[in-house]
Amino acid sequence: MTTSSKGLEGVVATQSSISSIIDDQLTYVGYKIDDLAENSSFEEVVYLLWNLKLPNKSELDAFKSELVDNMTLPEAVIDHLRSYDLSTVHPMAALRTAISLLGLYDEEADIMEADANKRKALRIQAQIATIVTAFSRIRQGKDPVQPKKGLSYAANFLYMLNGKDPEDIEEEAVNKALVLHADHELNASTFTARVCVATLSDIYSGVTAAIGALKGPLHGGANEQVMKMLTEIGEEDNAIPYIKEKLDNKEKIMGMGHRVYRNGDPRAKYLKEMSRQLTELTGQPKWYNMSVKIEDYIKEHKGLPANVDFYSASVYHSLGIDHDLFTPLFAVSRVSGWIAHILEQYDNNRLIRPRAEYIGPKKPEYVAIENR
């Protein structure tokens, strides 16, 4: 039997046409992340991931319109969000439950034909943004805000969150973050989604399972932990002493290094620049300056560059987004990739059933219970 690989590191588990990481270069359907981050809307990227081609103008206009038209939540889901103990529940737990609940109100939930799955995909992508923003407003004692026609997906997220049209730079920042987080090959949550639907379970189950995986701090929760660290540091002069102490205690610095990338995460530079612009705009450049000091120190002493989570923390903070909403915002983007992989799994399915290398006791003698 083949020797196991801890964490499945280096194991190629499937073939995919959706995204790739080759020589530290991330692509979506072959397109470089640099080209997409600099030129594309999030809606274009979602269309690309689901259809394996970029849309033309009429296709994109129709897709944008369909997303906005499907953003409104069933009233029962809103009522359920209101029923939570909002003083204790984490938004990722609320999101996980709400997505599962959506499946109960979708008449096509268990219909597995390709067209039905595409319609469900559209509804999930549209409504996940509404769930996150509605939860945020409800726990502030406010009513949810309905989506606004004519706004982009990124702008609608901020509009439903804050109840006002966002500034152009705010929309640009969220759009860029959504594009950069949309897919990332066979990451933990994506693999979880594919394992789930490989049993021929429904798309809502696959997305719910993926959210459960993303909830962990070693995956989607990293940027929330980065902001917690920056808040604890407080001021720029405290940054290096704080990091030195952490390293001396052999504690992990969140947002640094990556399992796959060896020479740096190609997505990080875009959020680094957005962090610089937004922290300057809000009059709090210390968050960016602090982050740069930490990145430079870790790179020099540990050889680890920042990953995409590191600067997304100060970007989201500068947008006024609550820190515990950072991971749900990640999910709002990554659900596009999960769905792409779920649809791909359905198209060429085989039950995912790996083996385990047994390391337990070898043939112990059974002793009757009265003699134990």
Task: Give the integer Cα–Cα distance in Å for 90 and 98.
Answer: 12
Residue 333 contacts residue 42 (beta carbons within 8 Å): yes
Task: Give the integer Cα–Cα distance in Å for 81 and 214.
Answer: 20
258 is catalytic: yes
> DSSP characters for 130-161?
HHHHHHHHHHTT-------TTS-HHHHHHHHH
Tokens of 259: 């399992």
Catalytic residue among 184, 309, 317, 341: 309
Query: Backbone phi, then psi, for 306, in 5-degree steps?
Result: -70, 150
List, in sequence order, the alpha helices (H) in the chain: 33-39, 42-51, 57-69, 75-82, 91-104, 114-139, 153-162, 168-181, 188-197, 203-214, 222-233, 239-248, 268-281, 286-302, 308-318, 326-347
Alpha-carbon torsion, ordered 223, 206, 19, 58, to 10 deg: -100
Catalytic residue among 181, 183, 184, 258: 258
Task: Give the integer Cα–Cα distance in Å for 18 and 4.
Answer: 27
309 is catalytic: yes
Q: Which residues are catalytic?
A: 258, 309
